[in-house]
Amino acid sequence: MIKVDFTLQRDIFDVRIKENFHVGITGIYGASGSGKTSLLQSIAGLATPEKGFVKIYDNIVFNSELDINIPVQKRNIGYVFQEGRLFPHMTIEKNLLYGIKRFGSKHLGFDQVVDLLNLRHLLQTKPAMVSGGERQRTALGRALLSAPKILLLDEPFSAVDVQLRSQILPFLLKIHRKVKIPILVVSHDLPDLLKLTDRLCLIQKGRCIGHADYHDLLRSDAALEMFGKNSIMNSITMKVKEIDTDRGITILSNNGEANSVRVKCEKSNQTYKVGEEMKIFISSDDIALSREKLKEVTIQNQLKGVIVETIDRGATTLCIVDVGFQLVVEITAESGKKMFVEPGNTVWCLFKSVAIDVAG
C-alpha cells in the first residue's frame, strides 16, 4: 500500500493530498495542470513536498519532520514517463536488461516480460526504429523488470494513437493480473482509465475530490461535474458465455440467463474465450428506457430492472437501474417526467449490441 499525506507548493496552488492507494490499479484522473503528475513525482521522489510524508508499504520514503527523503533510485519504483524515455543508443533488449541490472527481477522473468509485452521480435532493434506503442511497452517492461514495489504510469496512452492505445490497454490489464502491486495510472481520458479500472482518484486544483469506485463517484456532484456532460460511461465486468462467430455475436452473462447481454463485437471473438471475464462499456445515453418489453424490434438487449436512484442534472436525468448489475441511463428530464421515472419503478433498459465497446 502507498500512504501519502503531504503538501507540495506549486506555481498557482499547493498540491495537498492525503490518500491511501492499495494493490491493484487506481486511475488518477483530472484536468491538465490539476496536480496528477505532482502526486506521482512526490511518491517517486522526483518532487520534494514542503510538508508531510510518503510511505510505501512499511518504508517511510519521505518525512519532512524526520528529515527523511530517500532518493528516487532507492525507492524501488517503476515509473513510466509519458514519452517512454528509452536509452536511444541501446537495443530494446539492452533497455529491458537495464531494469534487471538495477534491482533484479522478482515478479517476472525476462522471458515472461518479453512475451507478455510481445517484444521478442524487436529485441535487437533500436528505439528509433520501433513504434510509439512498442516504445511504451519497452518502457513498461523495463520498469517491471526492476522488480518495483509500486508502478507509476504517467499518461501511458498520450504518446500513442487510438489504435496503439487499444494495444497497450490489454497489456496493462495482463500485468495487473500477474503482478500484485499498487499501480497508479495518470490520465485525463476517462474512457481509457475505465477500461483499466473502476477505482478512481479525482484530482482538482491540487486536491483529491473523490477516491472511490466509479459507480459510487457518480453520486457526487463534484465528481459528476468533473466527468463532464458526455462521459458518463457504464463499465461492467461480465463473463463470456457463448461466441457465435457466424453471426459475430458474443453472449455475455452476469446474473444468469435472464440478464444475458448480447454483444456484437468482432474483436471480442478473437480476443476472448468462453468462460473468460470481459469488461464492457456502454455510454449512458446509448440506453433507452421502456415501461414494457418491446416486441419485433431490432434492439438485441432488453434488460428488465428496477430504478434505484435518479440524479437530476438539469436538462437531463441520470437513472441508476438495477438489472442484476447497476446500469446508469441518461434521459432528458422531459422524458423522465413523461415516463414517471421514479425510484422503485420497473423499466426495461434497451440498447443495441453495437453500442457496446470492450476493453482490448
Site for ligand ATP in 172-191 (CB under 6 A): 188
Q: Which of 308, 305, 303 has the alpha carbon at shortest distance from 320?
A: 308
Cell (9 digits) for 142: 523495463
Q: Give the strands of the sheet with 77-80, arranged side by side.
A: 77-80, 150-154, 182-187, 24-29, 199-204, 207-213
Q: How far is the CB of 38 from ligand ATP (least distance, A)?
A: 3
- Per the document, the length of the chain is 360
Distances (CA, A) of 348 to 216, 233, 321, 343, 351: 23, 18, 9, 14, 10
- Residue closer to ligand ATP (CB basis): 17 or 179: 17
Interface pick for ligand ATP out of 21, 25, 27, 37 (rule CB under 6 A):
37
- Residue closer to ligand ATP (CB basis): 34 or 300: 34
Q: How far is the CB of 149 from ligand ATP (least distance, A)?
A: 22
Interface pick for ligand ATP out of 12, 66, 128, 315 (rule CB under 6 A):
12
42 binds ligand ATP (CB under 6 A): no
Q: With H, G, I as helix, E, B as strand and everything else as coil, classify residue 197.
A: coil
Single out the segment in contact with ligand ATP by CB under 6 A; choices: 10-18, 144-152, 167-175, 244-252: 10-18
Interface pick for ligand ATP out of 30, 99, 141, 148 (rule CB under 6 A):
30
- Residue closer to ligand ATP (CB basis): 35 or 305: 35
Q: Rounded CA gap, 230 and 226, in Å?
A: 11
Single out the segment in contact with ligand ATP by CB under 6 A; choices: 18-26, 29-37, 230-238, 316-324: 29-37
33 binds ligand ATP (CB under 6 A): yes
At how many degrees (to 10) do helices 132-145 and 162-178 cross?
20
Write the binding mask 132 to 171 for ligand ATP: x where contact by CB under 6 A, - elsewhere. ----------------------------------------
Q: Give the strands of the sheet with 233-244, arranged side by side.
A: 261-264, 249-253, 233-244, 277-283, 357-358
Q: Cell 530517500 belongs to which residue?
A: 70
Angle (CA) 143-145-151 rounded to 5° is: 40
Site for ligand ATP in 315-344 (CB under 6 A): none
26 binds ligand ATP (CB under 6 A): no
Task: Using CB under 6 A, list all residues that contact ligand ATP.
Answer: 10-12, 30, 32-38, 188
